[in-house]
Amino acid sequence: MSLRVMSPAMLNAWSQTLVRAMSTQGGAKNIGFVGLGNMGANMASNLIKAGHKLHVFDISKPACEGLAAKGATVYAKTSELAKNSDFVITMLPNNAIVDASYDEMTADGVNKDTIFIDSSTISPDLVKSLQKKISAKGARFIDAPVSGGVPGAEQATLTFMVGGTEAEYNAVKAVLECMGKKITHCGVYGMGQAAKLCNNMMLAISMIGVSEAMNLAVRQGLDANVFAEIINSSTGRCWASEIYNPVPGVCPTAPANREYAGGFSTALITKDLGLASGVANTSNSPIPLGSLAHKVYQSLCEKGLGNKDFSVVYDLMKKEKFGL
């Protein structure tokens, strides 16, 4: 089929397939993947689709079985996984788990040619600490957190924010392109996380803003779908309004239609806002809206909603009166 008669959607799908095919021209790589949650499982699946051999670990047996059914090899120990991998990608919940996982994974030494890629959201300080620890053992470590949510992980359209040397960025770029459409070199170690924390703070603020506006519109009698169409063709348009709208029935694929199950948990956005607050403190940067967003999401966790998608903040707005 001629490219001139392809629709934009078909052209995008074709180009993504081409990128994945080109990424394996040098041969399939052995890639370790630690952390098969809502994001990680989809990312690992896309690496398999690209032709790479996956070595996986997760504390969830069903998560491991799901990847094994697609051809991945499951490991009981991350140290063994790392020894059999050219690249190791970690996608884990928080600082403590990431730190402990790398201690366990590298306790018996590392292959000097292995590149460790952490795509979790952690503090820039921990990135620098891990980089020193891994490099002292003879291997390489970079930070490469992601943005795009579960939809981006499913569709291999994530944005990767990479912290490391130019040579390390070039070494991992083809692998990351199997899972994302934009791979950006942000600078030295920790700069990927610096970008991610700023992005997630803005995401939390915008989700609260969209929830407030949608609730105000509905309470005045506006139809939610009509108002969403207005926002998304006006200056209020954003990812939270267009792709991930918090009102049930507006975006068919959004967690709001599943009683806020799955997606990006309230506990995780609260954790990220805490990390952003810490970085703001050390850099002497004012974040009045970021601090307020942190308090709002902390209150959701206190109400037992930590496992719900972070768009559940709309449900809180819907039930509250003026003066929250």
CB atoms within 10 A of CB 245: 27
How far apart CA 295 and CA 197 sit, in angstroms, is 16
- Please say whether the beta carbons of 155 and 43 come within 8 A: no
Name the pairing type of β-strands 115-118 and 87-90.
Answer: parallel
Identity (one letter) of the amino acid at 317? Answer: M
Q: Helices marked H in the chain — which ranges?
A: 8-23, 40-49, 61-68, 78-83, 95-106, 124-136, 149-155, 166-176, 191-219, 224-231, 239-242, 266-282, 288-302, 313-319
Choice among 29, 83, 196, 308 that is catalytic: 196
Look up residue 108 and give its two tokens. 């018996």
DSSP assignment of 137-174: TT-EEEE--EESHHHHHHHT-EEEEEES-HHHHHHHHH
- Please say whether the beta carbons of 11 and 17 come within 8 A: no
How far apart CA 34 and CA 275 sit, in angstroms, is 22
Q: Nearest to residue 162, comparing CAs of 151, 174, 150, 149? A: 174
Q: Nearest to residue 273, comparing CAs of 186, 208, 321, 213? A: 208
Coil, strand or helix: which one is 185? Answer: strand
- Please say if 196 is a catalytic residue: yes
Residues assigned a catalytic role: 196
